[in-house]
Copies of this chain bind each other. A is one copy, B any other.
Amino acid sequence: MHRFTIIRYASSWEYLLSRLSKCLLLILLTTPIQLLAQVKPHKYVDPRIGSEGQGRVFIGPSCPFGMIKPSPDCTVKSNSGWLPEPAPITGFGQVHVSGTGGGPKYGNILIMPFSDKLDSIDHSSMRQNEKMALGYYSVLLKKHQIKTEITTAEKAAIYRFTFPKQAAKALAIDAGFFLGEQPIPDAREAQQFVGSEIEVVSATEVRGYSRIRGGWNNGAAYTVYFDAMFDAPIDHLTSWKNKKLYPGVSQQFDSGEKTGVLLGFKNGSSDTLKVKVGISFISSGKAKENIAQEIPHWNFENVRAQVENKWDEMLSRIEINADATIEQKKMFYTSLYHTMLMPVNRTGENPLWNGNAPYYDDFYAIWDTFRSSNPLITLISPKRQINIVNALLNIYQHDGYMPDARSGNYNGRTQGGSNAEVLIADAYAKGLPGIDYNLALEAMLKDATVPPGGIEEKEGRGGLVEYNHLGYVPYHIPRAGNRTTDYAYEDYCIAMVAKGLNRTKVYNRFIKQADNWQNLWRNDYKDHGATGFIMPKDSAGKWLDDIPYGTANNQHPTFKYTPLSREYPWYVCHWCGFFYEATSWEYSLSIPHQVPVLIEKSGGKEAFKQRLDTLFENRFYNVDNEPSFLTPCLYHWIGRPGLSSRRIRQIVLDNFNTTATGLPGNDDSGAMSSWLAFQMMGFYPNAGQSYYLLNSPMLKQVTLHQENGTNFKITAHHLSAKNIYIQSAKLNGKALNQAWIEHADIIKGGDLSFEMADKPSAWGTQVLPPVKN
């Protein structure tokens, strides 16, 4: 029983075994030995990691990039739906996002089992025995002792409710529930109710929809249609509208009020009730079809096996050394898992236009994901990344702009730059085929030349007129600081794509604009021993030491702005500061295309080393947000890759682990997790450019099984707790003296091997990372 010995590694395996149906056993027994000879990577995924604290990851079952994301909704106050106890479980909603901050989105179509008369809408319950696994969630609802299990396909999920013997079997379906409801009408970032409808179609089918607007991206109305099917006939029912109960009334039309239905089922021979829920953004007819296509049966375990297989197909593309610790395996594979929860594949589910192009929604936000999530997806499945980029171009063609964030089929909002441009530059630099790069350049140029107007945070580049006129965004415009640095980098991205396409005029303009961050670089400004910072400047070109706050007409108070100021949300609103969610200490180091210029402007290599040391040692570095993702690698550019590795190791040790609070900040649809995954593998992308910086791996061996059929293996010889420095490196047997490799080296396939030691060596000190212009 070799195979069972090995798969016993999975902590939840014993439990799973006890649940294996004969059918699943049969599948297992007829599966080739080879597949079973190793533990499937999905076993190492622990959805609980990052679920508490700031991580806010989605904990329910989901397919990779899957549209339906069923999860407990624990009151309306959560971003992902779930909250730790003592929050009660209000019910189980079908659509969620992962790792987000700000105002919640989704949480639609709540279902909740109960065991009582049909006389109450709310059946919230406390819980026990909560279990989370990849593709599976279960809990005991204490109130009526009902066990709830969930697994899922792409657009349809299946629920199995086990009631106490002889107990009444009832189910509440609430088409009015949504996350983030607030008492203030039209509150910013708050979801707002628009309408809902519910209809009992037959003794075993209910359908309807929920229409909601707003939420974090302040989006227009979106509609989640659903169809629910039961494996037992409804015996009696009570529908409701606007809190009023209507016993026996099987339909509630949409009058702009909340609706729902309470269903009582016959007490048959079984104590379980199974419910299939299909959703659609098109219609309830399509939702029903999604069930028919994906779950045409009632076999819960079969659905579960399918979602596991889908994930194994993706996760196994990065194989790590079998003797890695359980902690490492959990951290690594859970990171890959988090990276592939979003954006969401809604191909065939676009209510705005049709066609054959892929359609993805819930870019939330590209500002968060462009640095590490999308580059990781590019390595795991370039085809997927190509689809994602093509979805962005399709959105550009129909909505006028690529999104920076998009959710509920609505572009909005921007935090800094128009970062979809980085995804295009990244795809172009890495040679992804199947993308119309001329169209892509057109989409980039739209961002860079046509002001979005109206609400300038919806899409495109806010403050563009001023940026193009002055070469920087002046202070009176919100987020002037990081808009300027982001736009400058994106201008670089445009230039590089234009260069490749022989668009010389465009290249000449934008390669020049790539310097624009320097227009906000205040050369002589000193702080904590560092010289030169990105600082606020008004439209007349005057540096601002004191910044006005508030908007009162009669008083004009100011406060001193320093490179450590976090003026929001105290002095100005959260999105009105000079930098979005960061300080000048962080953003002044975020110039991914001109690090050598940055070093020079900071006073040279030694001063720059001091500056980085000051940043980390004084905790000016912010581990929990994206603007500083590249910063620990900056030592590479002064020929000290060992220092980069030391910082990264310390950051991981201090901030990441396998507990529920094991992520230091919002996971932001996998951004935080993918950063970790790269660092564990020992390389990190400079997104938008073609190379990766090499760092000390935390895993002895990593093999990329690539979609093109090649393998790329990274081996860290003599890696240990002490031997954390790369002594020397070989690529395909030849010495590699630089601390970076090209994407082309990876996709060709090959071997990268490191010799590890307990001290830095001369490796990587001479040939510095490239700057392409």
Give chain A's interface residues, CB within 8 Å of chain B.
Answer: 186, 192-195, 197, 199, 209, 211, 213, 220-221, 223, 251-256, 282-283, 285-286, 288-289, 348, 351-355, 397, 400-401, 450-456, 459-460, 465
Nearest CB of B to A439, in Å: 13
Cβ–Cβ < 8 Å partners of A400 in chain B: 454-455
Indicate if the CB atoms of B253 and A285 lie closer than 8 Å. yes
Indicate if the CB atoms of B289 and A352 lie closer than 8 Å. no
Cβ–Cβ < 8 Å partners of A353 in chain B: 192, 194, 213, 221
Majority secondary structure of chain A interface residues (helix, strand, loop or mixed) = loop
Cβ–Cβ < 8 Å partners of A401 in chain B: 454
Indicate if the CB atoms of A211 and B351 lie closer than 8 Å. yes
Cβ–Cβ < 8 Å partners of A213 in chain B: 352-353
Considering residues A193, A283, A286, A450, which has the most beta carbons from chain B within 10 angstroms of its beta carbon?
A283
Inter-chain CA distance A283–B351, complex, in Å, is: 14
Inter-chain CA distance A459–B455, complex, in Å, is: 13
Indicate if the CB atoms of A351 and B450 lie closer than 8 Å. no
Cβ–Cβ < 8 Å partners of A209 in chain B: 283
Cβ–Cβ < 8 Å partners of A286 in chain B: 197, 253-255
Known: A289-B253, A453-B451, A454-B452. A352 touches B221 (CB 8 A): yes
Cβ–Cβ < 8 Å partners of A195 in chain B: 282-283, 351, 354
Nearest CB of B to A222, in Å: 10
Considering residues A186, A211, A452, A454, which has the most beta carbons from chain B within 10 angstroms of its beta carbon?
A454
Cβ–Cβ < 8 Å partners of A252 in chain B: 285
Cβ–Cβ < 8 Å partners of A456 in chain B: 453
Inter-chain CA distance A355–B397, complex, in Å, is: 33
Inter-chain CA distance A348–B348, complex, in Å, is: 29
Cβ–Cβ < 8 Å partners of A454 in chain B: 400-401, 450-454, 459-460
Nearest CB of B to A254, in Å: 5
Residue of B nearest to A288 (CB): B253
Inter-chain CA distance A465–B251, complex, in Å, is: 52
Residue of B nearest to A451 (CB): B453
* This chain: copies in complex: 2
Residue of B nearest to A285 (CB): B253
Nearest CB of B to A678, in Å: 36
Cβ–Cβ < 8 Å partners of A255 in chain B: 286, 289, 348
Indicate if the CB atoms of A285 and B197 lie closer than 8 Å. yes
Nearest CB of B to A462, in Å: 9
Nearest CB of B to A454, in Å: 5
Residue of B nearest to A214 (CB): B353
Cβ–Cβ < 8 Å partners of A192 in chain B: 353
Indicate if the CB atoms of B285 and A254 lie closer than 8 Å. yes
Inter-chain CA distance A496–B211, complex, in Å, is: 40
Inter-chain CA distance A397–B455, complex, in Å, is: 12
Indicate if the CB atoms of B285 and A199 lie closer than 8 Å. yes
Cβ–Cβ < 8 Å partners of A251 in chain B: 285
Inter-chain CA distance A255–B285, complex, in Å, is: 9
Known: A453-B450, A453-B454. A354 touches B285 (CB 8 A): no
Nearest CB of B to A573, in Å: 18
Inter-chain CA distance A516–B727, complex, in Å, is: 73
Task: Sample 11 A-B pairs with CB under 8 A, ordered by A number.
Answer: A195-B351, A209-B283, A221-B352, A251-B285, A253-B288, A254-B283, A254-B285, A255-B286, A255-B289, A256-B354, A451-B465
Residue of B nearest to A454 (CB): B400
Cβ–Cβ < 8 Å partners of A451 in chain B: 451, 453-454, 465
Inter-chain CA distance A288–B256, complex, in Å, is: 15
Known: A192-B353, A213-B352, A352-B194. A283 touches B253 (CB 8 A): yes
Inter-chain CA distance A456–B223, complex, in Å, is: 28
Indicate if the CB atoms of B256 and A348 lie closer than 8 Å. yes
Nearest CB of B to A12, in Å: 38
Considering residues A209, A452, A453, which has the most beta carbons from chain B within 10 angstroms of its beta carbon?
A453
Residue of B nearest to A223 (CB): B351
Cβ–Cβ < 8 Å partners of A285 in chain B: 197, 199, 251-254
Closest 10 CB pairs of A and B: A453-B453, A253-B285, A256-B354, A452-B453, A451-B453, A253-B289, A254-B283, A197-B285, A221-B352, A400-B454
Inter-chain CA distance A456–B450, complex, in Å, is: 10
Inter-chain CA distance A400–B353, complex, in Å, is: 23
Considering residues A251, A256, A352, which has the most beta carbons from chain B within 10 angstroms of its beta carbon?
A256
Residue of B nearest to A289 (CB): B253
Nearest CB of B to A467, in Å: 13
Given A195-B354, A220-B352, A450-B453; 17 other pairs, CB 8 A cutoff: A193-B354, A194-B354, A199-B285, A211-B351, A221-B352, A251-B285, A252-B285, A253-B285, A254-B283, A256-B354, A451-B451, A452-B453, A452-B454, A453-B453, A454-B454, A454-B459, A454-B460
Indicate if the CB atoms of B221 and A351 lie closer than 8 Å. yes
Indicate if the CB atoms of A351 and B194 lie closer than 8 Å. yes
Inter-chain CA distance A252–B282, complex, in Å, is: 13
Inter-chain CA distance A318–B269, complex, in Å, is: 74
Cβ–Cβ < 8 Å partners of A452 in chain B: 453-454
Cβ–Cβ < 8 Å partners of A283 in chain B: 195, 197, 209, 253-254
Inter-chain CA distance A658–B603, complex, in Å, is: 86
Residue of B nearest to A192 (CB): B353
Cβ–Cβ < 8 Å partners of A354 in chain B: 193-195, 256
Inter-chain CA distance A69–B231, complex, in Å, is: 44
Cβ–Cβ < 8 Å partners of A459 in chain B: 454
Nearest CB of B to A716, in Å: 50
Residue of B nearest to A453 (CB): B453
Cβ–Cβ < 8 Å partners of A453 in chain B: 450-454, 456, 460
Nearest CB of B to A178, in Å: 14
Inter-chain CA distance A623–B593, complex, in Å, is: 61
Nearest CB of B to A259, in Å: 9
